[in-house]
Structures are given as C-alpha cells and as structure tokens.
Amino acid sequence: MTDSALPNLVQQMLQPEFYPHPVVEPIRLMQTHVSSVLLTGDYVYKLKKAVDFGFLDYSTLDKRKHFCEEEIRLNQTGAGSLYLGVVPITAAADGVELKGNGAPVEYAVKMRQFPQSALLSEQFAQGLLDEEKVRSLATTVANFHKSTQTNDHVRTYGTIPAIRQSIDENYDQTVVFTGDGGIEHPQTQKQFDETKAYTDNFFATEQALFQKRLDQDKIRACHGDLHLGNICEWEGSILLFDCIEFNEPFRFVDTMFDIAYIVMDLEVAGREDLSKIFLNQYVEETGDYEGLEILPLYVSRQAYVRAKVTSFMLSDASVSEADKKAASEKAAKYYRLAWSYVQKKKVA
C-alpha cells in the first residue's frame, strides 16, 4: 500500500513532527489485517483497524478503546514492562495530534520498542535459539501458566462442544483449498479426510480425558497466540506479549493448547529435538505429564489454523501469482504437519 492510499491519520503518524519525543527516521509502518503498528525508535504505537470479522469486532471507536485497554491489562503478566498505556489521538485544527485537548478520534496502545533481533522467531531463523534458551522459554511459560486464572466461566470453554467448534470451523473453511495438491489446493483430499477423521475420533473416544483436564483446572485464562513471533528476549527477560484480548474462546484454553504453538513452530521447521527439550522442561516445571495425551490434538489444530490462514491468500485477487505460489507451498507444509499426527496415531 502506498502512502497516498493510507488513512489520513496513519499518514500523519508517519511524520516525525507528530510526536512529542525524538524519533528514528524514517518511521516504520507494519500492517496486519487487524492493526497498524508504527515504530518510532523508542516507542511503538499500535492502532486497531475498524474491522468486524465476527470473532473480532473493532468496528466502533468505543470498542477500539475498550480492546486497547484490555490489551494493556491482559499483557501485564507476560510482558508488563513493554506496555506503557493507551494514548488518545485527538482532533486538532490541522488534523490530529497525540494526547491533545480535542475530542478523541482514535486510540493507540503505546509500547516500548525492542529490536527485531529480540524476537525468538528471528533468533530461531538465525540459528540462535539453542537448548539453554529453549529451556528458559519453557520455564517462563510454565511460570506464566501457574499465574493464570480459572473459574467456572473460564471452564465452560473446556467442554468438548466448545473446543471442537473452532476445529470444525477450520475444516468448513478449507474445503475450497482441498483437492489435487496444486497451487490452489495445497491440501490433498486424503489429508483433509484423514485429519478430520482423526479429530472426530479424538473427540468421540477421549471424553474422559477432556473431563480430566477440566477437573484438574487445566482450562485457564492463557495467552492464546503463543508462537515464537509473540515472544522476545529483551533486557535479560523472556517476554510473552500480544496475547489474545478480543475473543475469550481463543484465550480461555487448555494450557497444552497454549504451548502447542511453540511445539508446532519448532516441528514444522524440522527441529523436533528442540521441541522435545521444550516439552520435557515444561512438564518437569508443571508436573503436567498427563497433558501430553491431549497435546497432539492441539498441535494438529495449531498447524491447521496456520495452514488455513495462509490459504486465504490464494483467493485474494490482489495477491500476485508469485506470492500465491509461495503461500501455497507454506500452507502445504502446515497441512502436512497437521496430517502427520494422524500418521503417528496409526503407528501407535
């Protein structure tokens, strides 16, 4: 997207004079389908886009303010040192200004900025995520889970109907990407059928396991999106940031659901050795050895979600053929990982 196509507010926030503090030029803009993130040097300003996807609703100013405040509140446990507060962007005579006297027209989450090299996803890509750091990560996540809350409301999301709702939705949304294995069909029909049959059978035969997870209070207010790209090592600490603030079913989950993202990230990159080190350290810290029985379902689910989201690019007319080919190859890799757990079950 060119600067001229950006919303006026974002264009103004790309100007150094917008800020009451020194900035590093040029100000960098990172965009996702739900947010615009401006990196100014020492600080990051994160805007929520006015979108409504059903499971996520930022469509009104009041809602965006509310979820900005929720983002600050919910990330205190995992990464409180990064989150500085919610700042209003207010109307001014010549446009907008930060924390002015005019009426608020938007809100931003203000964070401390850390270098990209601090992200564990970047460290992993550079070969810097070693065994010692993986163990430290496992200990950090274990301590985080020990501090999370649970109650009767949170536990309602640990029932089989609640858990399988999103899993069944994933299958419904990926039928169109299933077929011959070509660019537009990165998942074969065999993979689709066998992966779905595996999860259907898991829900049908493991009812006692799901109940045990409830009884043992393993359904908790977790992070919800705990992949390596949402974890950084900075100023001597491993920080778990950007937790899910917009949807309770995505965050009120089994603790094994939460760690399945990390396991999936490591396994899809061919580092099952690091995955095992992480898991061994995590269960030693938590004592949750029984959780390993339910983990395969959640690793398969997380891989499938990553495949699904990547597949959505294949039906986007604005995406180039080259980018679609790359997206198809990436999606196929994640579909294969989800399916691989079916094969492990057969061997077992």
What is the rounded CA–CA span in Å between residue 232 and residue 140?
11
Which residues contact residue 156 at a Cβ distance below 8 angstroms, ignoring those fewer than 6 apart?
162, 252
Angle between helices 255-268 and 131-147 (to 10 degrees): 160
Amino acid at 21: H
How many residues belong to the chain? 348
What is the rounded CA–CA span in Å between residue 169 and residue 309?
12
* The pLDDT value given to residue 239: 98
Domain ranges of the chain: 3-113, 120-347
* The pLDDT value given to residue 318: 73
* The pLDDT value given to residue 348: 41
* The pLDDT value given to residue 1: 44
* The pLDDT value given to residue 139: 98
What is the rounded CA–CA span in Å between residue 97 and residue 9?
9
* The pLDDT value given to residue 325: 93
What is the rounded CA–CA span in Å between residue 322 and residue 314?
11
What is the rounded CA–CA span in Å between residue 223 and residue 80?
13
Amino acid at 253: V
- Topology (CATH level 3) of domain 120-347: Aminoglycoside 3'-phosphotransferase; Chain: A, domain 2 (3.90.1200)
How would you classify residue 46: left for phi > 0, otherwise alpha for psi between -120 and 50, otherwise beta? Answer: beta
* The pLDDT value given to residue 347: 42
What is the rounded CA–CA span in Å between residue 314 and residue 321?
9
Which parts of the chain register pLDDT below 50?
Answer: 1-2, 347-348
pTM of the predicted model as reported, rounded to 2 decimal places? 0.89
Of 316, 314, 343, 344, the closest CA to residue 329 belongs to 314
CA neighbours closer than 13 Å in the CB half-sphere of residue 327: 19
What is the rounded CA–CA span in Å between residue 155 and residue 215?
9
Angle between helices 295-311 and 189-205 (to 10 degrees): 140
* The pLDDT value given to residue 4: 55
* The pLDDT value given to residue 34: 85
Amino acid at 27: I
Of 332, 286, 279, the closest CA to residue 307 belongs to 332
* The pLDDT value given to residue 156: 97
What are the pLDDT digits (tens) for 206-224? 999 999 999 999 999 999 9
